[in-house]
Amino acid sequence: MTSTAPTLTVVPDVDDEAHPLLAGLIEELEQLPPSRAAALRVVQVVDDPDTSAADVSKAAGADPALTARILRVANSAYYGLSGRVGTPAFAVTVVGFQTVRSLAAVAAAGLAGDEDLPAGFWERASSVASACSLLARRVGTPAPEAFCAGLLYDLGTALLYRHDRTMYDGLAAEAAGGPVSLPELQRRTYGATAATLCADVLEGWRFPEDLCFAIRHQDDDPATARDPLVRTLQAGMTMATLPTPEWPADARSAATFANAMVRPNEVADLVRQMTEAAEQLAAAFTA
């Protein structure tokens, strides 16, 4: 019997004529081939409050590449169990349902291979996830949620990259060399930013509302940030992109640290911890 891929409703209505690239990207997401449908099944299984680690590992077993990645992450130095996690069910228990769901979302979006991702995607995701996990307790948000927000924060950028790499490279170069930010250039070009696209996709896949909210508002002015997970994500993004392990000179970055209850004399040690954890994670993601 042939299984039918799940139907996705990932974003609100988009004007095809005004934003053809974004509309095309959305159409791609709504047509899942079998391997990606298997990954989406993992997302759906994790969403069931009665699910078990055995249920999740069984669902992941339909996608060997996803199962292998979960096992690699569980055996990474980050979790301190290198070489001791031999079964998918144990691996799911080690990394947690939310991390499994995050990895499945990347696979379901068709971004499992390095060729589909911008250079350094997993390294950045590992750094932001590690930073968010370190900062979560300071802000009063659960560390697993903060970790997953960091892991997925740049998923929208990866989707835009896969859809049109020439446009992606052009906007990135323009943002790096000019006064207009990359999110603003994305908004002008696509009618949405990478952050809002990512949040729309995750909402369509029934990820937790607070995680989707944080990802959607990651680029907001930190002076207006009140949500704990938004504040954690913004500070994690700042920590992961500091040119030097010091209190940042620009006002926006300094505000994100202040929102996360980080003091100037703590930055260097936090960056050291983040870097060590991120290297361990990235090694598992890119193996």
Q: What is the pLDDT of residues 238-251, one digit of tens each?
A: 999 999 999 998 99
How remote is the C-alpha of 175 from its chain's centroid?
A: 21
Task: List the end-to-end C-alpha distance of the chain, in Å, as a whole number.
Answer: 35
Tell me, what's the pLDDT at 24?
67
| Cβ proximity of 193 and 187 under 8 Å | yes
Least confident of 3-7, 83-87, 90-94, 270-274: 3-7
pLDDT at 7 over 50: no
Question: What is the pLDDT averaged over residues 108-130?
Answer: 84
pLDDT tens-digit profile of 151-202?
A: 999 999 988 888 888 988 899 999 988 899 999 999 888 888 999 989 988 8
Query: Which domains does the chain show, CATH number per domain?
Result: 31-111 (no CATH), 113-287 (1.10.3210.10)
Global pTM reads 0.87
Tell me, what's the pLDDT at 26?
65
pLDDT at 219 over 70: yes
Tell me, what's the pLDDT at 38?
83
Tell me, what's the pLDDT at 19?
57
Tell me, what's the pLDDT at 11?
44
Can you read off the two tokens belonging to residue 111? 């971004």
The rounded distance, in Å, linking the Cα atoms of 143 and 147 is: 6
Q: State the average pLDDT for the chain.
A: 86
Tell me, what's the pLDDT at 12?
44
pLDDT tens-digit profile of 252-274?
A: 999 999 999 999 999 999 999 99
pLDDT tens-digit profile of 8-58?
A: 444 444 455 545 666 666 666 665 566 677 888 898 899 888 999 999 999
Tell me, what's the pLDDT at 206?
86
